[in-house]
Structure 1
Amino acid sequence: MQAGIELVGVGGVTAMTMRAVCREAQLSQKFFYESFTDTDDLLREVYRSTFHRARTVIESAAASGEDETDSTERMRAGVDAAARLVKDDPRVCRILLVEPIADLTLRHFVRDSIFAMITNPMAATHPTLAPAEDSVRSKMRYATVFGSIISLFLEWTEGNFGDDRDAFVDHVTDVLLSTVSRR
């Protein structure tokens, strides 16, 4: 699993061949097939594991926000945790944000899982972000917001916004809150 995270997080989905995974993990192919049916199976687990890690970090930070009753403060704490996570480990950003755009198999997996990704962790930081219905308009609204968030986090991870994490977190929080207010 760690070999898959390293390969996808650094070189993308195309870098994760079965042989590359075995070489990175220093295991034979036999051990690969004892754990996974194929590289797509491993890729889904890499994504799930990375998503779970990010979700845990964000939800934990949101739950321990300065004022646990203030949903805006909880959202800001979650965004701050996400900003620190992707800055400290850029592989998280690549696995969760870049590769689902670049790889059709992963994109379909993510799209099929989108409801859970929208409602958790976003709903944990701001309950009104959870979609009220499964309509086309709702899907377009969330695709627009997440497209913006993806772009912001990519630029942040690459260092294009400087080092002022507070300014970045404030801006991303404002983008998310503007979505809530338009709802």
Structure 2
Amino acid sequence: MSTERRSWAGTDLEQRQRARREKLLAAGVDLLGGADGPAVNVRAVCRAAGVTERYFYESFGDREEFVRSVYADVGERAREALIAAVGSAETPRERASAAVLAFVELMVDHPEMGRVLLLAPITEPALGGRGLELAPSFVVLVQDQLGSVADPDERQMVAVGLVGALTSLFISYLDGTITTDRERFVAHCVELLTGAGERVPGA
């Protein structure tokens, strides 16, 4: 038997597996981040992705592993968007504005993604405790922008507080508790970030 990987229409087996996995993850974002709450089961995911259950289990061991993979995928996209946004700006205010806008574009303009990252850990048992899993990486990103705060312990505490405050703001915006318009919401978040270091004693 040939050891060469079989290919179909110029696409090899690994590429097809990867494409199926990406379709399943995309379907998972829509179902896990649905406006009416998570509605994830293997059959619904496969139907939404247009694949059979055989291909679901090709990539994921079970429903719980799938849900965690969807959450991790959205979290990584958020982290990468924030890093890119901050890296393209110069002043602290520009970096804060770019970071908030990047997060808004990902989490608010695509609310299903926001609900996966921020609301699903509260309502989906498979993500129990995962809501805090990504926090350290976001804290580091914020901490790096607080150069005006000289004391490292103070800088860390300010960053942790800011991430907590911003998380609560975005959750409230996504679930409809906060009803202000998008522009005012972004401006408030930017001011929260840029003003934090200035308000710290000795900064």
TM-score interval, smaller chain? 0.7 to 0.9
Give the whole-Å Cα distance in 2 for the aligned partners of 1:151 and 1:96. 12
Give the whole-Å Cα distance in 2 for the aligned partners of 1:99 and 1:105. 9
Query: What letter corresponds to residue 49 of structure 1 in structure 2?
Result: D
Query: What letter corresponds to residue 77 of structure 1 in structure 2?
Result: A
Partner of 2:30: 6
The answer to whether structure 1 residue 102 and structure 2 residue 126 are counterparts is no
Cα-Cα RMSD: 3.1
Give the whole-Å Cα distance in 1 for the aligned partners of 2:102 and 2:171. 15
1:110–1:87 CA distance, 2 compared to 1 (3 A): closer
Q: Deviations over 1:26-64 (max 9, x none)?
A: 222111111011122111211111112222222222222
TM value normalised by structure 2: 0.68
Give yes or no for contact 2:101–2:186 (8 Å, CA) kept in 1: yes
Partner of 1:89: 110
Partner of 1:24: 48
The answer to whether structure 1 residue 149 and structure 2 residue 166 are counterparts is yes
| Residues 57-136 of structure 1: pairs in structure 2 closer than 5 A | 57-65=81-89, 68=90, 70-120=91-141, 122-123=142-143, 125-126=145-146
Partner of 2:179: 160
Percent identity of equivalent pairs:
28
- What is the Cα deviation at residue 116 of structure 1? 2.5
Query: What letter corresponds to residue 100 of structure 2 in structure 1?
Result: V
Give yes or no for contact 2:138–2:163 (8 Å, CA) kept in 1: no
Aligned residues: 170
Give yes or no for contact 1:9–1:94 (8 Å, CA) kept in 2: yes
Give the whole-Å Cα distance in 2 for the aligned partners of 1:111 and 1:61. 23
Give the whole-Å Cα distance in 2 for the aligned partners of 1:41 and 1:128. 42
Higher RCO (CA 8 Å, separation ≥ 6 residues): 1
Residue 116 of structure 1: SS of its match in structure 2? helix
Larger radius of gyration: 2
